[in-house]
Amino acid sequence: MTDDPLPSLDGFTRRDWQSGETTGTIRVAMVGLGWWTREQAIPAVAASDFCETTAVVSGSAEKVRSATDLADSIAHGLTYEEFHDGVAADAYDAVYVVTPNGAHLPYVETAADLGKAVLCEKPLEASVERAERLVEACGDADVPLMVAYRMQTEPAVRRAREVVESGAIGEPVVVHGHMSQRLLDEVVPDPDQWRLDPGLSGGATVMDIGLYPLNTARFVLDADPVRVRARAVVESEPFDAVGDEHVSFGVDFDDGTLAACTASQSAVQSSFLRVTGTEGEVTLDPAFYNRQNRGFRLSVGSQSVDYDFDRVDQMTEEFDYFAHCLLTGTDPHPDGDHALVDMRAMDAIYAAAERGSDVEVESA
Amino acid sequence: MTDDPLPSLDGFTRRDWQSGETTGTIRVAMVGLGWWTREQAIPAVAASDFCETTAVVSGSAEKVRSATDLADSIAHGLTYEEFHDGVAADAYDAVYVVTPNGAHLPYVETAADLGKAVLCEKPLEASVERAERLVEACGDADVPLMVAYRMQTEPAVRRAREVVESGAIGEPVVVHGHMSQRLLDEVVPDPDQWRLDPGLSGGATVMDIGLYPLNTARFVLDADPVRVRARAVVESEPFDAVGDEHVSFGVDFDDGTLAACTASQSAVQSSFLRVTGTEGEVTLDPAFYNRQNRGFRLSVGSQSVDYDFDRVDQMTEEFDYFAHCLLTGTDPHPDGDHALVDMRAMDAIYAAAERGSDVEVESA
């Protein structure tokens, strides 16, 4: 950054985390073969510089068979039992866990027992207690644990964080963030899906997509949540059990910034993040969906610029960052402790919605 | 509106409230001669079709003298005492009250006693109780009372309301709204101003600018607030007495929509309103400042259009609408009862911030 109020942000999509001389390949086993793994993760890894998928793991023999065809590098299709038994464990270096939230723990425990690095999907688990056990398992086994907040390796988000850190918008004052999609109409048209089962998901909307404005605000501000207030509303019957279809929540950060966030599983696909400071603003709109356009606007005083940049595949960036950390012996971020803060914050959001009062986010 | 998902919004700035054959002029007395009256209201009325300023009223003889020079039509410069005594009352038909919030009541009472129509600045007064007395005074005297929410005659806001009513974005689900300015650095550089005196203002940020996202969301949704939650933060000493410099508040509307709003008197000038529905979104950005650009974006599904339109002077629109109502014998909107809902909602917002819990908005 320079002192120019509207910096050029040269090399917008540069990988600021990548060192030039790094070589090598991390072999990944993917655990859980839902649409996300098949349509996003496997193609993203195939396009990556530092990873390849060598094993896939699922409870469904049919899913395993069809997934082994998705990339030439996939040599092993394992059942969950075979994975727990360590079958073909020599064929992979790291495990990407992308099962339903409430099933992350046993697969991460097995990965840790096998001495494998772990990339675990967010949210970490379906409850704070299980998430703490997950982090502890990786710590006890001394295996690297990264949590798959793909926004943290999205260039637009990294540039927003740099802009805020540079002071270009002054001190951050308020943040608005939103994420919505039509889960049942457009994403997963099945009312029996695990996201709507509170035991497997821990909540439908805050846990699945409300997490994006929450965590991205944390990352851009470099601040942590201390207090929340919230409202959760259910309009359609499939959301009765989980209790959150549309949500609105306020988050007070430890730097004094106030965030106003919303999320809905039954609204048009939309996402944005807007940080308003004493001197300017930075806005990502659209912000959060992979393989969707990104917008990046920086305003300082009355000047405003929309930056053009090439969209990257967020999953490729995320996997390459994770693999690069492993290849260079660097601790990956976001780690388990970072993700536990979100788990506690989301627990507080659900409690605030239930009680109708502000709730402090518990400390570790 | 048509069935086209992205309507053309022909005649964007049309005055949908104006009948072609209306003629006549409403003569206005302006009570209170701060910068807003001198720099915004008097020039706006001079440019209007249906009004002229014929009298100005202030406690300062010097302000009165300088204000009579601001328009040729101003024939009378009155002290507050002369106004209360009815001096030159035959020279005006209506009274625009633009004193500090907590001083609206006595001037509106006098205007009502004189049988004059009233255009009262928002918020209605500094407390719910005084606002109720103000509305009662106009009702008892049977004089028209309009409250000066200039966003309700801003064409971009009226088009947004029509878009929502048409169903083009489906059912509204969430709203984000924000307004901020640097009050002490850029607007009124005086730490002793009335906005920072709780007795005169009733609050610095919710009452002065938080009201914009609140009321504009109400108007665009055609819904009323039923429950709020909030946080108010003070960072700089001049805001200690009022207690709100930066605010974040959630509003639950009676149609089920959840609004996430923020406002700050110590952040870069910025404003926006974004309504996300089941099928699309409408965004005003910038939204709220007079004589500033407006933005109007409508998205339906994956289609999105930014509409170009000529900016209007919001104060001219507001005064012409008010005068047109009087000339045609139509009840002006927003009226006192409408404004009382905001007063009760803002009272609830301050209470929620104080208590750290959700607060129901009291009914009339």
pLDDT at position A266: 98
- The ipTM (two decimal places) reads 0.96
Over residues B282-294, the mean pLDDT reads: 91
**CA B161/CA A357 separation, integer angstroms:** 32
Q: In whole angstroms, give the CA distance from residue A218 to residue A254.
A: 10
Q: CA of B321 to nearest chain A CA: how many angstroms apart?
A: 31
Compare all CA atoms of chain B with the CA of A279 and give the residue at the minimum distance: B268
B55's tokens: 């009298």
B11 burial class (0-12, 13-18, 19+ CB within 10 angstroms)?
exposed
Structural domain boundaries in chain B:
26-150, 155-310+335-360
Q: Is B231 left (phi over 0), alpha (psi -120 to 50) or beta?
A: beta
Window 98-157 of A, Cβ < 8 Å to B: none
Q: What is the dihedral of CA B201, B204, B206, B210, to 10 degrees?
A: 110
Between CA B311 and CA A209 the distance in angstroms is: 37
Mean pLDDT of B307-322: 94
Calculate Rg over the CA atoms of chain B.
20
Residue owning tokens 């096998």: A114
Q: Does B249 touch chain A (CB under 8 A)?
A: yes
- Which CATH number applies to A155-311+334-360: 3.40.1440.10, 3.20.20.370, 3.40.50.800, 3.30.360.10? 3.30.360.10
Give the class (CATH, top level) of B155-310+335-360: alpha beta
Residue B76 β-bridge partners: B55
How high is the mean pLDDT in each 10-residue block of chain A (364 residues)? 63 91 96 94 97 96 88 96 98 98 98 98 98 98 98 96 96 98 94 96 98 98 98 97 98 98 98 98 95 91 89 95 98 98 98 98 91
Instruction: Calculate the alpha carbon distances from B124 to B118, B224, B274, B335, B344 in Å.
Output: 12, 17, 26, 10, 11
Interchain CB distance below 8 Å, A280 and B268: yes
pLDDT score recorded for residue B19: 86
Q: Which residue in A178, A244, A264, A268 has the most chain B C-beta atoms within 10 A of its own C-beta, making it the best mutation to test that interface?
A: A268
Contacts of B348 in chain A (CB under 8 A): none
Nearest-CA distance B330 → chain A (Å): 38
* Alpha carbon distances (Å) from B113 to B34, B106, B256, B329: 24, 10, 41, 20
Please tell me whether residue B124 adopts helix, strand or coil conformation: coil
- Superfamily for A26-150? NAD(P)-binding Rossmann-like Domain (3.40.50.720)
CA A118, A87, A29, A108 dihedral sign is negative
Collect all residues of chain A within an 8 Å Cβ-Cβ radius of residue B256. 233, 235
Cβ pair B211, B248 in contact under 8 A: no
Residue A52 Cα, gap to closest chain B Cα (Å): 33
Question: CB contact, 8 Å: B168 with chain A?
Answer: no
Nearest to A171 by CA among B350, B192, B317, B266: B266
CA-wise closest residue to A176 among B222, B203, B276, B184: B276
First to last CA, chain B: 34
User: Which A-chain residues 294-353 have CB contacts (< 8 A) with chain B?
Assistant: 299-302
Work out how many CB contacts closer than 8 A connect A with B.
150
CB-nearest to B256 from A235, A262, A274 is: A235
pLDDT (tens digit per residue) in B290-300: 878 889 999 99
**DSSP letter assigned to residue A311:** -
Interface test with A, best of B179, B205, B248 (most A CBs within 10 A): B248
CB contact under 8 A, A178 and B174: yes
For residue A174, the chain B residues in CB contact (below 8 A) are: 178, 180, 246, 248, 262, 264, 267
Task: Select the residue of B176, B301, B357 nearest A357 (Cβ to Cβ).
Answer: B357
Is B248 close to A259, i.e. CB distance below 8 A? Answer: yes
Could you read off the pLDDT of A173-226 as tens digits, one per residue?
999 999 999 999 999 999 999 999 999 999 999 999 999 999 999 999 999 999
Q: Check CB contact under 8 Å for B268 and A248.
A: no
pLDDT at A2: 43
Q: How far apart are alpha carbons B204 and B239 in whole angstroms?
A: 8
Say what the pTM is: 0.96
Evaluate whether B300 touches B279 at the Cβ level (below 8 Å). Answer: yes
